[in-house]
Amino acid sequence: MTQEEETEAAFIQNVKKKLCLFFPEDSYSFTNQAVEEGLEFGAFMVKPSRILPLVQTSLLDNKILEIETDGLTRVYFSRLYDDLPDLEETEDEDGESMLLEPDYIAGDYLKLMNHLICLPVEPGMGNLQVRNSQRVILRLFTATMAIELGTFFQDLYTVRGLPVLRLAFPAIGRQVKGTRAYRAKVTEKIDFSLVIKGKRKLPDVRSHPIDISSKGMSFEVQKKEQKRFRVDEICKIQFIVAGELLAVVESTIRHVSQIREKTGIQYRCGVQFDLPTRSIAATIESLVADVQRVHLQELSNISEESGITMVQ
pLDDT digits (tens, 9 = 90+) for 109-137: 999 999 999 999 998 999 999 999 999 99
Residue 311: inside a domain:
no
What's the DSSP call for residue 80? Answer: B
Of 177, 197, 232, which marks where a domain is finished? 177
Could you tell me the pLDDT band of residue 152, with boundaries at 50, 70 and 90? very high
Q: What pLDDT, on a 0 to 100 scale, did the predictor assign at position 310? A: 82
205 - beta bridge partners?
Answer: 196
Pick the more confident residue, 243 or 178: 243
R_g of the chain, CA atoms, integer Å: 22
Compute CA distances 41 → 1, 54, 138, 174, 175, whole Å. 25, 17, 21, 11, 11
Cα–Cα–Cα angle for 76, 173, 291, nearest 5°? 65
pLDDT on residue 99:
75
Last residue of a domain, one of 161, 177, 193: 177
Range of the domain at 203: 184-306
What are the helix and strand counts (H, E) for the chain? Answer: 5, 19
Element spanning 257, H or E: strand 244-261
Q: Are residues 298 and 280 in the same domain?
A: yes
pLDDT exceeds cutoff 70 at 179: no
Q: Are residues 95 and 33 both part of a single domain? A: yes
Q: List Cα–Cα distances, 106 to 7, 68, 98, 213, in angstroms.
A: 38, 27, 22, 29
pLDDT score for 178: 72
**What's the CA gap between 214 and 202, in Å, rounded?**
29
Please give the pLDDT value at position 95.
67
> Is the CB of residue 187 less than 8 Å from the CB of residue 295?
yes
Q: How far is it, in rounded angstroms, from Cα 173 to Cα 177?
A: 13
Residues 200 and 80 in one domain: no
The predicted pLDDT at position 140 comes to 92
Interval 277-305: pLDDT, tens:
999 999 999 999 999 999 989 888 888 88
If one counts the domains in the chain, the total is 2
Q: How far is residue 209's CA from residue 266's CA, in Å, rounded to a whole number?
A: 12
If you average pLDDT over residues 235-243, what whole number do you get? 95
User: pLDDT digit string (tens) for 250-279?
Assistant: 999 999 988 988 778 889 999 999 998 999
Q: Which of 147, 177, 207 corresponds to the end of one domain?
A: 177
Mean pLDDT, residues 67-87 taken together: 92
- Residues 26 and 103 reside in one and the same domain: yes
Return the SS3 of 94. Answer: coil
CA-nearest of 11, 9, 7 to 46 is 11
Residues 21-31: b if buried by 16+ CB within 10 A, e if exposed: ebbeeeeeebe
Helix, coil or strand: residue 35: helix
148 and 119 fall within a common domain: yes
Whole-number Cα distances in Å, 125 to 77, 121, 166, 270: 11, 8, 17, 21
Q: Concatenated DSSP letters for 101-164?
A: PPS--TTGGGGG-SEEEEPPPBSTTHHHHHHT-S-EEEEEE-SSEEEEEEE-EEEEEEETTEEE
Domain match, 243 and 136 both: no
Question: What is the mean pLDDT of the segment spanning 94-107?
Answer: 78
Residue 79 lies in a domain: yes
Give the mean pLDDT of 81-88: 88
CATH code of residue 195:
2.40.10.220
Is the residue at 93 inside a domain? yes
Task: Give whole-number Cα distances, 117 to 52, 55, 174, 177, 221, in Å.
Answer: 14, 10, 20, 26, 27
Residues 6+ apart with CB under 8 A from 129: 69, 72, 74, 76
Distance (Å, rounded) from C-alpha 45 to C-alpha 41? 10
Residues 151-174: what's their mean pLDDT?
A: 95
Is residue 282 one of the residues assigned to a domain?
yes
What mean pLDDT, rounded, does the chain reach?
A: 91
Q: In whole angstroms, what is the distance from residue 92 CA to residue 312 CA? A: 44
